[in-house]
Structure 1
């Protein structure tokens, strides 16, 4: 009987959110072979290819994208069921983060949390900021890192400039946009430039956004200092998009000393990138 391993599905979501196996491994504090093994395990179980090499990067197959959509739903249902039953991951420290947080930022947060809670595991969840607000509201994440007002206790980390990104392969008309589905502050910034700018394709995760831009569907905007996948490069000469505030919320279970340490580490790591 075919079964889907939840841990492997979490790795799949991390690879899609962070647009790469190495970045996913760094964020999850796993080795690259471990994350690659999770992907192979899913492929062996399902009998079809999920990802394929595209230069120095990877891309999702059509069936891989189908699996990814199911993975989001399956992992969410799994965690919700465990929460209702009062077991499973309740003892874990949850760090919920936007996919734009760098691996060094997540590693710094994890290090401080391990010092604070040496006998508890750390689980990473990667979501867009709209979903992160739910984690904060329901108090189901110990730390949430995203953009904008995440909710009660939010602290400012940095004002992050946005930059235009396009494909190395062929020039694309700047008014053709690739964007995340609503709600998304970066999408809103691009559309606010006027009626000449229109959404060519909507995406649900970083991997599909990267693939669409790289294949020449359109251009997009990303926070500056985002590590760009092969085949992408910054574009010059387009209207400025300003900045978006990167923010963090740290739960009440964390001591003031560690809370202040997390705030400081995030600011210092961002400044050093």
Structure 2
């Protein structure tokens, strides 16, 4: 055997994939970003291939990295199972709740309280990701519940309401003159709200162009705060450093769905559904 794969480094590799990059992985693992980078380099030294490449702010797995990621999940699952069997594993959260970033701060507190009542106050762990990634995690059994937007996925998804879509920009942002092109900052493809933004402007006779894109919502908000352009955001809240723009075409709300993994206690799904519905109503009163 020419090398040994470090279990800690493998956990960092999986976290990069699950949470969308080095920075988010470091936050979840409670490590520095440089430590996560060192873990990846350690694995690359063992296997002899690049595993993750930086493409701007986006981290993309190489073909070798994708192969190792599949095995890393199996290795970690076996490792954690072995510890659990002898009672040496860390306490595992009772429930894993996934959510898109849109309006999460408005919806999660009530949902968490509702789930805690059903599970007698057991811990809830969170995962924030895109709708497609959340649904894949539900299919794998990695998530217990997922709150997502976009097209409905599977017959086990429940429509719980809709999130308003609003145009936001920096306070000093100057809108384009009539006939000029509207600069947009968006999440990179595929993204439901990106598509809605472009389509709504086109339907209203506006020309638009994407001047900035990011892998996650935080990057879009930062670009809008910097005055690069206007962003279409889901939810009733207004993030710091941004103001609503009512001089652009109104966009119809985006449906919000809830989906539970196969075999999940139906009481949890019902509690989450009720809490989401109440949160959406409360936000409009």
TM-score by length of 2: 0.66
Which residue of the other structure, out of 165, 168, 172, is the alignment partner of 2:168?
165
What is the CA distance between 1:9 and its match in structure 2?
7.1
Unaligned runs of 5+ in 1: 18-34, 48-64
Which residue of the other structure, out of 165, 170, 185, is the alignment partner of 1:178?
185
Q: Which residue of 1 aligns with 2:43?
A: none
Which residue of the other structure, out of 202, 209, 228, is the alignment partner of 2:213?
202
Is the contact made by 2:57 and 2:215 (CA closer than 8 Å) also made in structure 1?
Answer: no
State how 1:251-270 maps to structure 2 within 5 Å.
251-270=261-280
- SS for the counterpart of 1:197 is strand
What is the CA distance between 1:116 and its match in structure 2?
5.0
What is the CA distance between 1:106 and its match in structure 2?
2.5
What is the CA distance between 1:79 and its match in structure 2?
8.5
Unaligned runs of 5+ in 2: 1-8, 39-53, 85-91
Query: Is 2:222 the partner of 1:219?
Result: no
Is the contact made by 1:175 and 1:196 (CA closer than 8 Å) also made in structure 2?
Answer: yes
Tell which structure's C-alpha radius of gyration is larger. 2
Q: Which residue of 2 aligns with 1:240?
A: 250
What is the CA distance between 1:114 and its match in structure 2?
4.7
CA change 1:116–1:82 in 2 (3 A) is: farther
RMSD: 4.3
CA change 1:118–1:224 in 2 (3 A) is: closer
Query: Is 2:179 the partner of 1:188?
Result: no
Query: Is 2:125 the partner of 1:134?
Result: no
CA change 1:165–1:104 in 2 (3 A) is: closer
Looking at structure 1, the residues matched to 146 and 30 of structure 2 have their Cα atoms a distance apart, in angstroms, of 25
Is the contact made by 2:163 and 2:254 (CA closer than 8 Å) also made in structure 1?
Answer: yes
TM-score by length of 1: 0.68
State how 1:144-155 maps to structure 2 within 5 Å.
144-148=146-150, 149-155=152-158
Looking at structure 2, the residues matched to 37 and 85 of structure 1 have their Cα atoms a distance apart, in angstroms, of 14
Deviations 1:220-242, CA, capped at 9 Å, x for gaps? 100131341x2211111111111
